[in-house]
Chain A
Amino acid sequence: MLEWIWLVPLFPLIGVIINGLFGRYLGHKIVGILGSTMIGLSFITVSIIFVDLLKLPPEHRFFTKTLYDWIVAGNFTAQISFLVDPLSVVMMLVVTGVSFVIHIYSIGYMHGDKGYSRFFTYLNLFVFAMLLLITADNFLMMFVGWEGVGLCSYLLIGFWYGDNYNAYAGRKAFVVNRIGDFGFLLGIFFIVVTFHSVNFQEVFGAAAAKYTIGAPIITVITSLLFVGAMGKSAQIPLYVWLPDAMAGPTPVSALIHAATMVTAGVYMVARANVLYTLSPISMALIAVIGVATAFFAATMGMTQFDIKRMLAYSTISQLGYMFVGVGVGAFAAGIFHLMTHAFFKALLFMGAGSIMHAMSNSTDMRMMGGLKKKMPITYWTFLMATLAISGIPGFSGFFSKDEILWQSLAGAYGNFWIWLVGVITAGLTAFYMFRAVYMTFHGELRAKKEIAEHVHEAPSTMTVPLLILGVLAVIGGYIGIPKILGGSNPFEHFLDPVFEKSLEIRHAAGLVPHISGESARVLELPLMGLTFVIVLVGIGFAYLMYLKRPELPGIWTKKINYVYQLVFNKYYVDEIYETLIVNPMAAISESFLWKFVDVKIIDGFINGTGNVVRGTGRVVRKWQTGFVQNYALSFVIGVVILVFYIVFM
């Protein structure tokens, strides 16, 4: 069945073609079922591939299927080729599985929307691109998927195009991501120059063979690639687009901006683990940026009243955790958290969508409360996800987050401060998540009467997906129970072959975990307990402030007003960007480069600027002599400079 890997992205593509071309004539029902079925077929195919892969001995779990030679230029070749190994299979399972559930959810959520077929076309296109990204066996093809998912993301953010804000948000996402893509593309160019190949096996093989730890060119490449990851996975300083991206429909937020696309950066780093292992500087950079993002995003999440924006900051924060994981060399732990996060974060967003559905699209948590009774399924599933993300023992998030925290202290690249900030962030996470639960589901409903009357549980197309993900959010972690808790961590062992080479490099360089053997056994459990206590403290504060004594937040925020305002306004980062980068850029291009350099200096060297240049589309009654003369003058100046330069230099 491994041979048939190309079917996995093909199914969504078929969905795109049929829904894109004929969707308008098919009727909503067929469109929705078709779109979901295609993803379902992909999921089934992946499952079969997964089972087949398990049958092979671990060291042979590697397979590539080449369709054709894509780019052949001299001795450089890039192929359209799919890679099946444990890492890509895990990713495929997560992506197709979560996508499938969200597709079904969308059938209900998007019910009656006039862009129904368009929505499913984009969604299928997204899954196609994401699968390309994951299954690519070279950097260029990965880049195709990388750009493709970005494209779908912008299209879907601006999906309800009636709203100008949405178009703005879409464009913001695009621009920020372009900065990241710039880095990514440059990284690929440097890979081409350095290795004369973009194929993963060739590049990693050559890198391991030719370079030792700390080689500068590898650091350049990995840092540039990480710039791409920062953009796509919303890390400091390129995270600003993600909260605005919540303008899109909620299933999109769940699928693209929480579960799958934004994790592409983590996947890329894990995929290129050999390169990153060779560059401790890049690794440290990733870990530091990851932990800083985790912390700051969590603080910003604490002050949000918009439930979707709060979840967006939570996503940024959790992505930070994943980067901490891969940054400290615990690639498997990062991917593990990626997977569990996909479950519970998709669930949280879908729960939020269900609430919005009931509350006439209101997202303000101050207007909610007491929804527990009216929406029991949504409440219980939301609570499961909250417990999972908070890291309550027994729920999926606990296992993955704890693995990362432990590695960030004990691992070969571990560091006490990273661990400490990570643990504090865990407490903050629990606080803002329970704050959300208390504000929305407990207490009294604060909404207007006409809205309150309409509050109801969502239809079954929406609640069934909630339940499925609810189960996954609870049990998803049990495939990765660490040794210390009596498990065998099959998840990590499954991924081992992918990261084997990195381990070899590390061993060769003498990098071993800081804490191992007896002391590890002694330390790990108490630290787990410590984290749990901090989490409980966070929950306790949330309980105190938002359920027991609701007047407290007001009093406290007054006391620390400056800090609160700073955090509430998201550290004024958007404003800083606006003043420091966006406005000057616009000013430069508008007033300097265009108005001054081109129009004034080159264009209208002395005076008569042509009407056609200044106005747009204005019909000029007479052509102006001065006009053409000016053009000719710049022409002559160009010639003179050229002659001067060539003759005298």
Chain B
Amino acid sequence: MVNEWLPVFIFMIIMSVVVFVILAGTAFIGPKRPNPVKLSPYECGVEPVGEPRTRFSIKFYMIAMLFIIFDLEVIFFYPWAVVFKRFLSGSSFILIEMLIFVGILLVGYVYAWKKGALEWQ
């Protein structure tokens, strides 16, 4: 198994070397005559203004996370609903299982609520 893969590794090494050489080459050889215009980031002709990092309220993230969690819950309901009827005839376990699942999510929901994650203040 060694020989057949050897070219791949040689290729990887050469590739790394080439990339390094090109980057180093431009850094060393290229003429450097900076001016303010050249140094400013290119942004479709629009003058870049302001802090690049705008701060968002953490509450957006909270809501987004909660949304994802409960959204997944709903997604899980779909395949369950599809097979629900066939299984129920065998045993009621499928119903209990979903109740457990919803119960766990409910605990999470109560927790989030009680902790004030849903309040926008």
Contact = CB atoms under 8 A, between A and B. Distances in A.
A–B: direct contact at CB < 8 Å? yes
Interface in A624-649: 644, 647-648
B42 interface: no
A625 to B, nearest CB: 14
Contacts of B2: 647-648
Contacts of B1: 647
A647 B2 CA distance: 7
Interface string B1-19: 1100100010000000000
Q: Is the interface of A mostly helix, strand, loop or mixed?
A: helix
B109 to A, nearest CB: 33
Interface string A194-219: 00000000000000000000000000
A644 B6 CA distance: 10
Contacts of A644: 9
Interface in B36-74: none
Nearest to B3: A648
Give the size range of A's interface with the partner.
under 10
B34 to A, nearest CB: 23
B53 to A, nearest CB: 14
Nearest to A644: B9
B8 to A, nearest CB: 10
A648 B5 CA distance: 9
A642 to B, nearest CB: 14
Q: Is the interface of B mostly helix, strand, loop or mixed?
A: helix
A647 B9 CA distance: 11
Contacts of B5: 647
Contacts of A647: 1-2, 5
A399 to B, nearest CB: 75
A471 B78 CA distance: 99
A622 to B, nearest CB: 14
A644 B9 CA distance: 9
A647 B1 CA distance: 8
Contacts of A648: 2
Contacts of B9: 644
A623 to B, nearest CB: 16
A648 B1 CA distance: 8
Nearest to B1: A647
B13 to A, nearest CB: 11
A11 B5 CA distance: 72
A637 to B, nearest CB: 13
A648 B7 CA distance: 12
Interface string A396-423: 0000000000000000000000000000
Interface in A173-207: none
B85 to A, nearest CB: 49
A648 B2 CA distance: 6
A648 B9 CA distance: 11
A157 B5 CA distance: 64
Nearest to B6: A648
A287 B83 CA distance: 87
A644 B1 CA distance: 12
Nearest to B12: A640
A616 B92 CA distance: 60
A643 to B, nearest CB: 10
A644 B12 CA distance: 13
A538 to B, nearest CB: 75
A488 B87 CA distance: 99
A644 B2 CA distance: 10
A457 to B, nearest CB: 81
A647 B5 CA distance: 9
A648 B3 CA distance: 9
A648 B6 CA distance: 9
A406 to B, nearest CB: 70
Nearest to A648: B2
A278 to B, nearest CB: 49
A53 to B, nearest CB: 71
A335 B10 CA distance: 70
Interface string B69-111: 0000000000000000000000000000000000000000000
Interface of A: 644, 647-648
Interface of B: 1-2, 5, 9
5 contacts: A644-B9, A647-B1, A647-B2, A647-B5, A648-B2
4 A-B pairs closest in CB distance: A648-B2, A647-B5, A647-B2, A647-B1
